[in-house]
Amino acid sequence: MIKVLIVEDDQLVRKGLVSAMPWNEFNMMVVGEASNGQKALDFLRNNKVDLVITDLNMPKMSGLEFMRITNDLYSNVFIAVLTLHQDFEYIQEALRLGAIDFITKVQLEKENFHNVLRRLEDRINKELPHFKNSNNQKWTYETGKVLAIFSSESEVSPHSINKITNECEVQQVNDQIIICVPSEKVTVEEITENLIEVVRYKEAWHLVLIDGVEGAFPSVVHRCLEEYHGKLLFYDIRENEYLYQKSLKEIERINQNSRINLSSIRNRIYDFKWVLDDDLYGQLLSIIYEQHFVKEDLYNLMVEMVERWNDKYSFVMTFQLDSPNEFSNWQELKGWLDRFRFHSNFQSKHLYATDVMKSIWLALDMMQSNMQEAWTADYIAKEVNMSRSYFNKCFKEIVGKSFNHYLREIRLEYAKELLLHTNESIYWIAEKIGYMDEKYFSKLFKDYTGQLPSVFRKNGEM
C-alpha cells in the first residue's frame, strides 16, 4: 500500500482531496495531511510516507523549499506537485527537485481523479528500478530473495513466528501476509528450513519464496503479494507441498495479464456440453486456469451452475446435486468438477455409447431451450441423427420417461413458474409453453396438478 501525505494550505481543497479521490483503487492510502511545509516535515519525522502531494504556494514555507528539505532528509519519498501555477519556471524548478508529476488544480476541478492517480501510480512504478539510496536501506530490498507467509483463513503476525525468525526482519503486509527478510545473521536457506516446519502444521498457511526483489520498493512488493494472494495463490497450492517459488517479475506479469471477465466463461459452463465431452471439459479447465479468476467468483459460478443444472435436468436425475463447499485451491475445484461430471453424467447409470448419450443430451437441450416449438419425436430424432424408433427407445431408458411424457412435464412445470411469478394471462402462458388451445392446456394442467391454472395461481398467492 502506497502511503500518501497531502500538503495544502486550503482546508477545503485538502479535505476534498482526502475524501474524493479513489485512493484504494490504486493501492494508495492517505496517512496524513498538513497545512504547510513545516507541519509536513514534522509528520515525516514520525511517520512512514511513500508519496507526498504538495502545493507550491503556502505560508511559512513554500512548496519548493519544502521539496529541497525533503530531498535532503527523506530522499526515499516521491513528491508530486499540486498547484495553480502555470509559470514555466515554477514547473522547471519543481521537476529539477525531483517531482514525479505536476498536477494543476484545474485537472481536479474537472474531477479527473482516476487519470491523475493512474498517472501517479505509473510514474512511481517507472521510477522504482532507479530508486535506491544506500543511506535508507529500509526503503529498498538489499537481498535478492525473501520469504512470504500467506494465510487463507486465520490471521498471521510476526509474533506467530518470532521464536524462529528473531534474527531476520519481519514485515507485516496485512493481516494475512508477512514477509521474512534474511540478514547477515541468518540466510534465506536457514529461514526456509525453519518456516517449513511451521507451515507443515498450519493447514491454512502457505510459504512462498519470492526471488528478484533486490532494489525493489517495499510498497510495490507488498502490493504484488496482496494481488498474488487474492488472485493467484489459489492456483499454485498443492496438497502436501509446503514451499512454493515465484519470481517478483512473474507475479507482476500475471497480475497485469489477469482479467476478471466472467462472461467469457459463464456461457461455456452453463451449456453443460463439457459434462459429456472430455475435450470440451479440458478446454474449460484450461480457460479457467489461464484467466486466473478470483476464487470467490469461481465459487459463485459453481453455485449458480448447480442451481441451473437442477432446474434444467431434475426430471432426468433421480436426485439433485448439492452446491459445493468453498474451495481453498485449484485442485479442490478441479476435483469437485470431476465429481460433478461423474454424478451428472448419464453414463454412470447407462451402458449406451457416447454418441448416443450426446444425441439424447442434445434432444433434451432443444426441448428445454424452446418449449414453444411444436416438438415431435420424429423431428428431433432427425435433428440428432437417429431413427425415430431407436430414439424413442433410448430416450425412455436414459431419461426414465417417454418423449411425450417428458415434454409435457417440463412444459407444465414451466407453466407453474409463470403462473406464480408473472401476471400474464393463462392464454399467453399456454402459448408460451407450446399449447395453442387454452382449454386443452387447462385440462392437462388440472390432470397434472389437480387444480385449474387460475386456482393454482390464486392458491399460490395466498
Number of C-beta neighbours around residue 188 at 10 A: 19
Q: What percent of the chain has pLDDT over 90?
A: 23
pLDDT at position 34: 92
From the candidate CATH numbers 3.40.50.2300, 3.90.180.10, 3.10.20.90, 3.40.50.10800, the one assigned to the domain spanning 2-130: 3.40.50.2300
Closest CA to 222 of 280, 271, 168, 174: 174
Distance between CA atoms of 279 and 282, rounded to whole angstroms?
5
Q: Which residue has the higher pLDDT, 407 or 277?
A: 407
Rg of the chain, C-alpha, whole Å: 32
pLDDT at position 175: 85
Distance between CA atoms of 110 and 114, rounded to whole angstroms?
11
Given a cut of 60, whether residue 361 has pLDDT beyond it is yes
Given a cut of 70, whether residue 16 has pLDDT beyond it is yes
**107-122 average pLDDT score:** 75
pLDDT at position 119: 84
Query: Would you say the C-alpha torsion 226, 232, 237, 242 has a positive or negative sign?
Result: negative
Q: What is the pTM of this model?
A: 0.54
Q: How far is CA 202 from the centre of its chain?
A: 25
pLDDT at position 64: 86
Residues 26-40 pLDDT 10s: 889 999 999 998 899
**359-382 average pLDDT score:** 88
pLDDT at position 132: 43
Residues 425-445 pLDDT 10s: 999 999 999 999 999 999 999
Q: Which residue has the higher pLDDT, 73 or 419?
A: 419
Do 2-130 and 137-257 have matching folds?
A: no
Residues 305-352 pLDDT 10s: 888 887 776 555 555 567 777 888 898 898 889 888 877 665 445 556
Highest mean pLDDT among 109-118, 270-279, 287-296, 368-377: 368-377
pLDDT at position 315: 53
SS (H, E, C) 130-141: HCCCCCCHHHCC
pLDDT at position 289: 87
pLDDT at position 33: 93
Q: Are 206 and 199 in contact (CB under 8 A)?
A: yes
pLDDT at position 136: 39
Q: Are 428 and 367 in contact (CB under 8 A)?
A: no
SS (H, E, C) the chain: CEEEEEECCCHHHHHHHHHHCCHHHHCEEEEEEECCHHHHHHHHHHCCCCEEEEECCCCCCCHHHHHHHHHHHCCCCEEEEEECCCCHHHHHHHHHCCCCEEEEHHHHHCCCHHHHHHHHHHHHHHHHHHCCCCCCHHHCCCCCEEEEEEECCCCCCHHHHCCCCCCCEEEEEECCEEEEECCCCCCHHHHHHHHHHHHCCCCCEEEEEEECCCCCCHHHHHHHHHHHHHHHHHHHCCCCCCEEEEEHHHHHHHHHHCCCCCHHHHHHHHCCHHHCCHHHHHHHHHHHHHHCCCHHHHHHHHHHHHHHHHHHHCCCCCCCCCCCCCCCCHHHHHHHHHHHHHHHCHHHCCCCCHHHHHHHHHHHHHHHHCCCCCCCHHHHHHHCCCCHHHHHHHHHHHHCCCHHHHHHHHHHHHHHHHHHHCCCCHHHHHHHCCCCCHHHHHHHHHHHHCCCHHHHHHHHHC
- According to CATH, the topology of domain 354-461 is Arc Repressor Mutant, subunit A (1.10.10)
Do the strands 51-55 and 28-34 form a parallel or antiparallel pair, or are they unpaired? Answer: unpaired
Residues 388-425 pLDDT 10s: 999 999 988 888 789 999 999 989 988 998 999 898 99
Distance between CA atoms of 350 and 352, rounded to whole angstroms?
6
Count, residues in the chain: 462
Distance between CA atoms of 38 and 61, rounded to whole angstroms?
6
What residue has cell string 453414463? 347
CATH architecture group of domain 137-257: 2-Layer Sandwich (3.30)
User: Strands of 145-151's sheet, edge to edge?
Assistant: 169-174, 177-181, 145-151, 205-211, 243-247
Do the strands 243-247 and 205-211 form a parallel or antiparallel pair, or are they unpaired? Answer: parallel
**205-226 average pLDDT score:** 84
pLDDT at position 231: 78
Domain map (residue ranges) of the chain: 2-130, 137-257, 263-344, 354-461
